[in-house]
Homo-oligomer: A and B are copies of this chain.
Amino acid sequence: MNNFTFQVPTKIIFGRGTQKQVGAEVKKHADKILLHYGGGSIRKSGLYDTVTASLREAGVDYLELGGVQPNPRLALVQEGIQLCRDNNIGFILAVGGGSVIDSAKAIAMGVPYHGDVWDFYDHKADPQEVLPVATVLTIPAAGSECSPSTVITNEKTGRKYGYTTELVRPVFSIMNPELCFTLPGNQVVNGISDMMAHIMERYFTDTEHVDLTDRLCEATLRSIIYHAPKLRENPSDYDAWAEIMWAGTIAHNDLLGTGRTEDWASHGIEHELSAMYDIAHGAGLSVIFPAWQKYVYHHNISRFVQFAVRVWDVDLAFGDPEAIVQEGIRRMERFFHFIGLPIRLSELGIDDTHLEEMAKLAEARGVGNFVKLGWQDVLEIYRLAL
């Protein structure tokens, strides 16, 4: 086990009706805030009305900035920064999914900073202070409601970069599984894929003596695998949503990575896919993860045997280690397909035209810790995914 530090100060307020607490909770921190959200879904669902009524009731003034898009853009972040500066606002409330929260975190970093907020994403500077951010989560997927990360797209350069600092963990996050009932089916399964990927990026490690976190990873994966199909059968299944929603937070609040070196190769490889083609992050991950596993499992076969046996219930007596590992990967593919996720690039309408170009772009940013991958490796993984 590696030495580590771990601190998650975010207050989680979880359960039915909890969105009504938002005003009172915000009021502990600020009298005037920026209310940040995406498109029209929170208006249609009535969440916008509930949140604004709660804010007014608590005596919290708010300015609004909607319009966050799925890959949140720098221009809107810069607009938000200016809005906060002009109106002396010191607190951001994000109502939405990962994109809205990531955009809010970017605004929070940018307001007290004298340069361009993109400097952080470009690794030219680190924030010394940030505004507090809080969230009302509507899409379990990215884990941003409790994470120290934010990903923003610079629409001028086409670059989509992430930045991580403990300073941007939200001060509180309100999580009501009922708010997920109206999510479109593809967002549901893309979210499942994303949270499973967050766990697997941590699970595949060469760090030894990480038994406890291995088991916590396996427990969380198994719970997701058990409950996800129920959401297709009944999108209003509160109990299944509650498990999935809480699992999505635990998957990415760093508990499952304590004491171990994490990988993040598949995220890097997928990143180039969704930058080149207009595909959802979760759909890209369900295609890349099986291909990545097929390519790297010889590196540490006992870890993949453990994954197959403990997560996918492959019988240890099934055969030789290779057969066990391959059966584990097959079961993962079968699961992804069963809930409606793609497992091949062809299902996304992607052919081999840009594979080498994407592989070289991926290599330039560095790919993987479990196995360090060069562009030829990434190319081979793309080909395995065709």
Which A positions have Cβ atoms within 8 angstroms of B? 1-18, 208-209, 211-212, 215-216, 218-220, 222-223, 226-227, 239, 242-243, 246-247, 250, 255, 258-259
Contact = CB atoms under 8 A, between A and B. Distances in A.
Contact of A14 (B10, B11, B242, B258): B258
Contacts of A9: 7-9
B7 A14 contact: no
A247 to B, nearest CB: 5
A259 B5 contact: no
Nearest to A247: B212
30 contacts: A1-B15, A1-B239, A1-B243, A3-B14, A3-B15, A3-B16, A3-B18, A4-B14, A5-B12, A6-B12, A8-B8, A9-B9, A14-B258, A208-B239, A209-B242, A209-B243, A211-B226, A211-B243, A212-B220, A212-B247, A215-B219, A215-B220, A215-B223, A216-B216, A216-B219, A216-B250, A219-B219, A242-B259, A246-B258, A246-B259
B12 A10 contact: no
The 3 closest A-B pairs by CB, nearest first: A3-B15, A215-B219, A209-B239
A63 to B, nearest CB: 28
A215 B225 CA distance: 12
A215 B211 contact: no
Contacts of A247: 212
A7 B12 contact: yes
Contacts of A220: 212, 215-216
A166 B247 CA distance: 24
B212 A223 contact: yes
Given A7-B9, A9-B9, A219-B218, A212 B14 contact: no
Contact of A11 (B1, B5, B223, B227): B5
Contacts of A222: 215
A209 to B, nearest CB: 4
Contacts of A223: 211-212, 215
A258 B245 CA distance: 13
A214 to B, nearest CB: 8
Nearest to A10: B7
A10 B8 CA distance: 8
A245 to B, nearest CB: 10
Given A5-B14, A212-B246, A212-B247, 19 more contacts: A1-B15, A1-B239, A2-B15, A3-B15, A5-B12, A6-B12, A7-B10, A7-B11, A8-B9, A15-B259, A209-B243, A211-B223, A212-B250, A215-B219, A215-B222, A216-B219, A216-B220, A218-B219, A242-B259
A243 B242 CA distance: 29
Given A2-B15, A14-B6, A16-B3, A227 B211 contact: yes
Contacts of A10: 7
A9 B9 CA distance: 4
A43 B344 CA distance: 62
A242 B239 CA distance: 34
A219 B218 CA distance: 8
A250 B16 CA distance: 26
A157 to B, nearest CB: 37
Contacts of A13: 5
A88 B223 CA distance: 51
A257 to B, nearest CB: 12
Contacts of A3: 14-18
B7 A243 contact: no
Contacts of A216: 216, 219-220, 250
Nearest to A5: B13
Contacts of A18: 3
